[in-house]
Chains A and B, each alone.
Chain A
Amino acid sequence: MLSKFIFLYCALMIVTTGILAVRFRNPVHSVLAVLVLFFHMAGLYLLLNAEFLAAIQIIVYAGAILVLYLFVLFLVNIKEEIKTERFVANHNISKVIVFLVFMMLIPLLQTFHLGEPGKWTMDAIRQVTHTKALGMEIFTTYILPFEIIALILLVAVIGGILLARQEKQEGIMAQKESSGSLTKGGQK
């Protein structure tokens, strides 16, 4: 009974902050709403007995990824952002598409049934603790995907540095801009 209350509270907060994050005019407020959403998502993970993932959710998502978003948001001029239009011109079509997807996904739930249960019952996890159980799965059965994910992260780090680097071409860009061959977007 108590777990149902906790679930309903978390679900309500997730839906509310999700809608707020989409609707907020100020992008910094959007990021903060998503931060609250991630904390409640971690609460749901705790409810599902996945405490390691709850910790990862807070450390990686709330701690690292959202801070990255906040840093990049410094590019935006907040004073102008509050005044400009938030949505694209024909966003009513998108609303209809999203509503159709929602109405398509909900009836699909009735055809759903759970498959065969696996070997990690709650007692088995409790015996070896959750983090160790997850580690045993990752480092034995899923060792190859783990190595691939390490490679993906390495490529992402190198790619991020390459993309955001201050290039020497900047001088060339400035020349192009002054000669007028580079049209600025949105000012036509």
Chain B
Amino acid sequence: MIPVTWYLVLSIILFCIGMYGFLTRRNVIIMFLCIELMLNAANLNFVAFSHYLTDMRGQVMTFFIIAVAAAEAAIGLGIVVALYRNRRTVYSDEINELRG
């Protein structure tokens, strides 16, 4: 049997990779992609707990998180499209004015 801590370590590593990408990349689209990585780390934790506690609740939560991730992708990419239309850039460090 695989110990549950293996899944937790993998989840921590994946979360840190996503956080690293979110903090360092300039491209807003890749930053959103890194948010998906972090959400996946949370999902992996939930499913691992659900399996090792013989309970269904974690998997229900994962189901909801996937739905929220889909909503977040639609809204976030809509914002990117609107941003590109107004400012002609997708780089986070070039968007440095509050005045639209």
Contacts and interface: CB of A to CB of B under 8 A. Distances in A.
A19 B78 CA distance: 26
A49 B49 CA distance: 12
Grouping DSSP codes into helix (H, G, I), strand (E, B) and loop, the A interface class, with mixed when no group exceeds half, is: helix
Residue in B8, B56, B68, B89 with the greatest tally of chain A CB atoms within 10 Å: B56
Contact of B71 (A7, A41, A98, A156): A156
A18 B17 contact: yes
Interface string B27-67: 10110111011001001100111111111110110111011
Contacts of A48: 7, 47-48, 50-51
Given A118-B54, A186-B91, A15 B17 contact: yes
Interface of B: 1-2, 4-10, 12-21, 23-27, 29-30, 32-34, 36-37, 40, 43-44, 47-57, 59-60, 62-64, 66-75, 77-82, 84-97
Contacts, number: 234
Given A138-B63, A184-B87, A61 B10 contact: no
Q: Is the contact region of chain B dominated by helix, strand, or loop, or is it mixed?
A: helix
Given A44-B44, A95-B24, A152 B19 contact: no
A3 B6 CA distance: 12
Nearest to A45: B47
Interface of A: 3-4, 7, 11, 14-15, 18-19, 21-22, 27, 30-31, 34, 37-38, 41, 44-45, 47-50, 52-53, 56-57, 60-61, 64-65, 68-69, 72-73, 75-76, 81, 84-89, 91, 94-95, 97-98, 101-102, 105-106, 109, 112, 114-122, 133-134, 137-138, 141-142, 145-146, 149, 152-153, 155-157, 159-164, 170, 173, 183-186
Contacts of A3: 1-2
A60 B88 CA distance: 30
B78 to A, nearest CB: 3
Contacts of B49: 114
B54 to A, nearest CB: 5
Contacts of A173: 86
B95 to A, nearest CB: 6
